[in-house]
Amino acid sequence: MSDIAIKVTNLTKVYKLYRRPSDRLRDVFHLLKKDAVSRKRALDNVSISVTRGETVGIIGTNGSGKSTLLKVITGVVTPTEGEVSVDGHISALLELGAGFNMEYNGIDNIYLNGMMIGFTEEEIARRMDDILAFADIGEYIHQPVKTYSSGMFVRLAFAVAINIDPEILIVDEALSVGDVFFQAKCYHKFEEFKKAGKTIIFVSHDLSSIARYCDRVILLNQGRLIGEGSPKQMIDDYKQLLVGLKPEDAETGAVYDENANLLSYGDGKARITEFYVTDEEGRRISTISKGATFVVHMTAEAKEDIKAPVFAFTIRNVQGVEITGTNTMVEKAYREPLKKGEVKKIAFSQEMHLQGGSYLISFGVTGFEENDFKVYHRLYDALQLTVVSDKDTVGFYDMESTITII
């Protein structure tokens, strides 16, 4: 068995867009003029490979080709050009309701989906109890699925996809309609899959989940492969795309310094010129005890007039998951314009309640112009801060609980 579970080579997918429904039929019989149909290139010469046992995230803005790529990999859509090879049994959750017959009840759809994936009726029957327990929709399992809520629908679909023991699991935003308890159960199953050496491809706009669960991330934009690498770096590049910057375009002011591990970008209307952390005595620090007061400092200079700047900082863990942060707009601390050449020193004071470990602090100066969000300057992972603790609780931070026992 090959170490490569999925290999995509020079993949291109072009969709025809018709002005009227009848034009599609006319085109089949070659009765349509060429200028009556336009073409949308959903994927443009994309090549990727996924190693067996990897959890790979795919991110990108809406219309970047993420879902199309998954549909081609799973055989739902035929590529216009290029090749796709898959070595392993795939179970896919591409979109709500895909592969379900709305008139059938839940049990019938379990058998229908399982057999479509390639399992026999006997194999599905052996897994039925696990599927029903995971879906946990009670007596609705005997009702037509057209009567299901979106939450029940996705619970059943995910239960089928994840409990038939596939070698490759592909999930496209399917968890976005589940409740928090169901999402927790699904992510726990992800962890089990990872430990068992399964291959997972995961498309989501939830960047925290991408950072937490993925070994590697692929970034698409307008059908093209922009980059692939660590979750942290690809998420940083994706955030540039969200504000109209191209990570590969140095003229935008985006600079990634591999040695300093510092990403800096923005349109240059403001610059962050200094940043540091102090303790309650005013001393600059890089280590702090849990429970102590600390201050995050930043100095920013306006290079042009700015109508309503927003100063911000965030704290992420080393995997790139944003844990906390705030800004002057949320705190209602500053609502005035900045004149060109004006310098502001901003200090955020708070207590440290994060668990012991290493964290990274990012800074930003942003704003809104004609209702459009603008990034004037951002510095990602500019400072490292180590929290020392003699008592770590569960999760990211300590709620400083007081316990009373009677």
- pLDDT band for position 220 (50/70/90)? very high
What does the angle CA 83 – CA 84 – CA 85 come to, to the nearest 5 degrees? 125
Q: In the chain, where does the domain assigned CATH 3.40.50.300 lie?
A: 4-233
Q: Residue 99: which of 113, 110, 81 has the closest Cα?
A: 113
| pLDDT above 70 (res 206) | yes
Sign of CA dihedral 337, 338, 339, 342: positive
d(CA 171, CA 155) in angstroms, rounded, equals 13
CATH of domain 4-233: 3.40.50.300
Other beta carbons less than 10 A from residue 2's beta carbon: 10
pTM of the model: 0.78
Q: What is the 3-state secondary structure (H, E, C) of 139-164?
A: HHHHCEHHHCCHHHHHHHHHHHHHHC
Buried b (16+ CB within 10 A) or exposed e, 248-270: eeeebbbebeeeeebbbbbbebb
Say which CATH topology domain 263-388 has: Coagulation Factor XIII; Chain A, domain 1 (2.70.50)
Q: In the chain, where does the domain assigned CATH 2.70.50.60 lie?
A: 263-388
Chain segment 372-392, per-residue pLDDT in tens: 899 999 998 999 999 999 888
Chain segment 314-331, per-residue pLDDT in tens: 999 988 889 999 999 999
How many percent of the chain have pLDDT more than 90?
A: 55
Chain segment 67-76, per-residue pLDDT in tens: 999 999 988 8
Amino acid at 404: T
Distances (CA, A) of 215 to 56, 234, 235, 241: 6, 12, 13, 21
Burial environment of residue 379 by CB neighbours within 10 A (0 to 12, 13 to 18, 19 or more): buried
Candidate from 39-48, 58-67, 120-129, 242-251 with smallest mean pLDDT = 242-251
